Amino acid sequence: MGLSLFDITGRIALVTGSTHGLGMAMAEGLGKAGATIIVNGNSSQKKIDQAIKYYKSLGIKAKGYKFDVTDEVAVKEAIEKIQTEIGLIDILINNAGIIKRTPLEEMEVADFREVIDVDLVSPFIVSKHVVKSMINRKQGKIINICSMMSELGRNTVGAYAAAKGGLKMLTQNMATEWARHNIQVNGIGPGYFATSQTDLIRVEGHPFNEFILNRTPAAKWGDPNDLAGTAIYLASKASDFVNGHIVYVDGGILATIGKPSNEV
């Protein structure tokens, strides 16, 4: 079967939060593997248009839809519109997310709830409305973007860790309920990646940069393109009997307790 196992030509893939960053990198990978990309964002139509222009410059088929993934009415309407205008969704990547870095004892309840709503509730909402056609067709791929915080805690990201830990269990329960319909539900847990959001701390001498280089066995930040292969695998026939797993793309962080900063 060879490379045909990874061929997703003609598949329609909705990637939430795919106007920038890791979401864009995964969408680009799927697009280069043959999928039509449905770009989603909620900040501005301009960002969506810019993303579509970028995808199309690479020869990727792409169409954009602006909607709030936490608003069930908006999600339902958008999914119906996508399926009318483009076709039934074969691949869903629940990537949209936010983080608020605040010590728990100082965090406002409204901020905590917002993180949970975006990072945990929205994957449930979007999946709920996409999976119905997948069940009818007896096929589909759902990929939830988890985090190393699905496994570990860290100062100031309690809400995010709670959401991502919940998303890990939601992924397993989706798999439990939907595997019998030939739907595979898995997750990807990114490590620390070189993106525009980490530009300011990825400089020599910055304490967090030194921490990541020391903590990661690969001794480097991930390239966003490193996620593309895992996304393609989980979106393709190659993963047809893989269900309920989180694949950590982290350079080995979760494999080790770490090392002293002065160790060679």
Point out the residues that are catalytic: 160
Q: Which among 144, 140, 123, 170 is positioned nearest to 236, based on CA atoms? A: 140
| Phi-psi group of 48: left, alpha or beta (phi > 0 → left; psi -120 to 50 → alpha; rest → beta) | alpha
Paired strand residues for 138: none
SS3 state at 190: strand
CA distance 188 to 239: 13
Paired strand residues for 187: 144, 246
CA distance 78 to 81: 5
CA distance 196 to 54: 17
**147 close to 189: Cβ distance less than 8 angstroms:** yes
Q: Within 13 Å of residue 225, how many CA atoms lie on the same side as its CB?
A: 1
